[in-house]
Amino acid sequence: MTGRLAVVGLGPGDARWLTPEAETALGAADALFGYGPYLDRAPARAGQRRHASDNREEGARARAALESAAAGANVALVSGGDPGVFAMASAVCEQVEQGPPAWRELELAIVPGVTAMLAVAARVGAPLGHDFCALSLSDNLKPWPVIERRLDAAAQAGFVLALYNPISQSRPWQLATAFERLRGHLPVTTPTIFGRAVGRADESIVVTTLEAADPAGADMATLVIVGSAQTRVVPRPGQAPLVYTPRSIGSALA
Amino acid sequence: MTGRLAVVGLGPGDARWLTPEAETALGAADALFGYGPYLDRAPARAGQRRHASDNREEGARARAALESAAAGANVALVSGGDPGVFAMASAVCEQVEQGPPAWRELELAIVPGVTAMLAVAARVGAPLGHDFCALSLSDNLKPWPVIERRLDAAAQAGFVLALYNPISQSRPWQLATAFERLRGHLPVTTPTIFGRAVGRADESIVVTTLEAADPAGADMATLVIVGSAQTRVVPRPGQAPLVYTPRSIGSALA
CATH, residue B42: 3.40.1010.10
The distance of A111 to chain B (nearest Cα, Å) reads 6
Q: Is residue B30 part of a domain?
A: yes
Angle of CA points B130, B132, B136, to nearest 5°: 160
Of A121, A136, A149, the CB nearest to B157: A149
Contacts of B97 (CB under 8 A, 6+ apart): A232, A234, A242, A244
Residues of A in contact with B43 (CB under 8 A): none
For A6, A148, B136, the CA distances from A186, given in Å and listed in that order, are 41, 15, 21
State whether A145 and B254 contact (CB < 8 Å). yes
Contacts of A58 (CB under 8 A, 6+ apart): A88, A91, B247
The distance of B216 to chain A (nearest Cα, Å) reads 24
Same domain, B227 and B140: yes
Q: DSSP state, A143? A: -
Same domain, B18 and B50: yes
Q: Is residue B177 part of a domain?
A: yes
State whether B130 and A136 contact (CB < 8 Å). yes
Same domain, A212 and A122: yes
Domain end, chosen from A84, A114, A144, is at A114
At residue B57, the pLDDT reads: 84
Task: Look at B71 and A2; give whichever has higher pLDDT.
Answer: B71
State whether B239 and A110 contact (CB < 8 Å). no
State whether B149 and A157 contact (CB < 8 Å). yes
Above 90 in pLDDT, residue A178?
Answer: yes
Same domain, A125 and A235: yes
State whether A82 and B118 contact (CB < 8 Å). yes
Q: How confident is the model over A57-71, as a mean pLDDT?
A: 95
State whether B126 and A83 contact (CB < 8 Å). yes
Same domain, B54 and B172: no
How many residue pairs from chains A and B have C-beta atoms closer than 8 A? 269
Task: Look at B190 and A37; give whichever has higher pLDDT.
Answer: B190
Beta strands at A4-9 and A74-79: parallel, antiparallel or unpaired: parallel
The distance of A143 to chain B (nearest Cα, Å) reads 6
Give the confidence band of A10 by pLDDT, cuts at 50, 70, 90. very high
DSSP letter string, chain B: ---EEEEEE-BSS-GGG--HHHHHHHHH-SEEEEEHHHHTTSPP-TT-EEEEE-TT-HHHHHHHHHHHHHTT-EEEEEESB-TTSSSHHHHHHHHHHHS-GGGGGSEEEEE----HHHHHHHHHEETTSS-EEEEE---SSS-HHHHHHHHHHHHHHT-EEEEES--BTTB-SHHHHHHHHHHTTS-TT-EEEEEESTTSTT-EEEEEETTT--GGG--TTEEEEE--TT-EEEEETTEEEEEE--S---GGG-
At residue A1, the pLDDT reads: 54
State whether A112 and B93 contact (CB < 8 Å). no
Of A134, A153, A236, the CB nearest to B157: A153
Same domain, B59 and B34: yes
Same domain, A135 and A109: no
Total of domains in chain B: 2
Contacts of B66 (CB under 8 A, 6+ apart): B5, B92, B95, B96, B99, B103, B106
Domain end, chosen from B78, B99, B114, is at B114
pLDDT in tens, A113-124: 999 999 999 999
Same domain, B94 and B124: no
Q: Is residue B253 part of a domain?
A: no
In A107-116, which positions are buried (b, 16+ CB within 10 angstroms) versus exposed (e)?
A: ebebbbbbbb
Domain end, chosen from B114, B139, B168, is at B114
Q: Checking phi first, is residue B4 left (phi over 0); if not, alpha (psi -120 to 50) or beta?
A: beta
At residue A253, the pLDDT reads: 46
d(CA A17, CA A8): 13
At residue B168, the pLDDT reads: 93
Residues of B in contact with A156 (CB under 8 A): 153
pLDDT in tens, B144-188: 999 999 999 999 999 999 999 999 999 999 999 999 999 999 999
Of A18, A24, A246, the CB nearest to B90: A246
Q: Is residue B18 part of a domain?
A: yes
Q: Would you say B47 and A39 are in contact if contact means Cβ atoms under 8 Å apart?
A: no
Above 50 in pLDDT, residue B24?
Answer: yes
Residues of A in contact with B115 (CB under 8 A): 118
At residue B250, the pLDDT reads: 67
Of B96, B146, B237, the CB nearest to A105: B237
The distance of B135 to chain A (nearest Cα, Å) reads 5
At residue B254, the pLDDT reads: 40
Q: How far is CA B31 from the centre of its chain?
A: 24
pLDDT in tens, A195-233: 999 999 999 999 999 999 999 999 999 999 999 999 999
At residue A250, the pLDDT reads: 66
pLDDT in tens, B37-84: 999 988 888 889 999 987 668 999 999 999 999 999 999 999 999 999
Q: CATH number for the domain including B208?
A: 3.30.950.10
pLDDT in tens, A150-162: 999 999 999 999 9
For A220, A235, B33, B65, the CA distances from B103, given in Å and listed in that order, are 36, 11, 17, 11
State whether B110 and A122 contact (CB < 8 Å). yes
Same domain, B131 and B242: yes
At residue B212, the pLDDT reads: 98
Q: How confident is the model over B232-248, as a mean pLDDT?
A: 96
For A100, A149, A167, the CA distances from A214, given in Å and listed in that order, are 47, 22, 12
Above 90 in pLDDT, residue A66?
Answer: yes
State whether B19 and A24 contact (CB < 8 Å). no
State whether B94 and A247 contact (CB < 8 Å). yes
Of A156, A239, A244, the CB nearest to B153: A156
The distance of B229 to chain A (nearest Cα, Å) reads 14
Average per-residue pLDDT for chain A: 95
Question: Which of B26, B19, A104, B17 is CA-nearest to residue B7?
Answer: B26
Above 80 in pLDDT, residue B1?
Answer: no
Q: Would you say A75 and A29 are in contact if contact means Cβ atoms under 8 Å apart?
A: yes
Q: How confident is the model over B133-147, as a mean pLDDT?
A: 95
Question: Which of A68, A29, A33 is CA-nearest to residue A54?
Answer: A33
Same domain, B121 and B108: no
Same domain, B128 and B227: yes
Structural domain harbouring A68: 4-114
At residue B50, the pLDDT reads: 94
Q: How confident is the model over A27-55, as a mean pLDDT?
A: 90
Q: How confident is the model over B203-213, as a mean pLDDT?
A: 98
Same domain, B64 and B183: no
Average per-residue pLDDT for chain B: 95
Above 70 in pLDDT, residue B253?
Answer: no
Residues of A in contact with B70 (CB under 8 A): none
Above 70 in pLDDT, residue A169?
Answer: yes
The distance of B120 to chain A (nearest Cα, Å) reads 9
